[in-house]
Amino acid sequence: MMFDSIRKLFAAQLADLTGGAASVEHRYKLATAALLLEVTRADHDVCAAETALVRKALSRAFELGEAELAELIELAEAEHDAAVCLHSFTRTINDSLDNGQKSHIIELLWMVAYADGDLDSHEEHLIRKVADLLHVSHAQFIAAKLRAEERAAMSG
């Protein structure tokens, strides 16, 4: 019952954000944001560097202004909190994006995991699980990890 009311609230908020029915584009943006937030919480220590990287990644990837970004993150947090598993997020992404785009999302997840300078085993496990659910090959998974690791080393 409570879950249904949260879903209805989320749907209404998303309709307001998109100006009507939730478009495919907005659904995959929301799913991506929720997965990035999941990585920040995987090690049970959400730090400012991870949160800042999520904001930066979403802003760049989706070309969002500050108000749009804040609303997307708020909606993603609500959806994340209401979700019981990752499948709804990954299904949306699988239905919307090609393999290269999904590989890029995996790279963004790695970047968030590396943001605090400490790759936790829970973060790595989560990213592997998401990669599997997105049907990203092991080679793409490793390549995304190496690119993110290189970027983290250059910025830190």
- For position 45, what pLDDT does the model report? 83
- Using DSSP's 3-state secondary structure scheme, residue 72 falls into helix
List, in order, residues 6 or more apart from 109 with CB less than 8 Å away.
35, 36, 39, 126, 127, 130
- What is the pLDDT tens value at each position of the chain, 156 positions in all? 444 444 444 554 544 444 444 587 888 999 999 999 999 999 888 889 999 999 999 999 899 999 999 999 999 999 888 888 899 999 999 998 999 999 999 999 999 999 988 899 999 999 999 999 999 999 999 999 999 999 888 876
Helices (H), 19-98: 24-42, 48-62, 66-82, 87-96
- For position 23, what pLDDT does the model report? 82
Q: Which domains can be identified in the chain, with CATH numbers?
A: 2-155 (1.10.3680.10)
- For position 156, what pLDDT does the model report? 64
Q: How many residues does the chain have?
A: 156
Burial of 87 (0-12, 13-18, 19+ CB in 10 A): exposed
- For position 115, what pLDDT does the model report? 92
Half-sphere exposure of residue 81, counting CA atoms within 13 Å on the CB side?
10
Tokens read off for 65: 């202004």
The DSSP secondary-structure symbol of 44 reads S
**How many CB atoms neighbour CB 11 within 10 A?**
12
Q: How far apart are alpha carbons 154 and 151 in whole angstroms?
A: 5
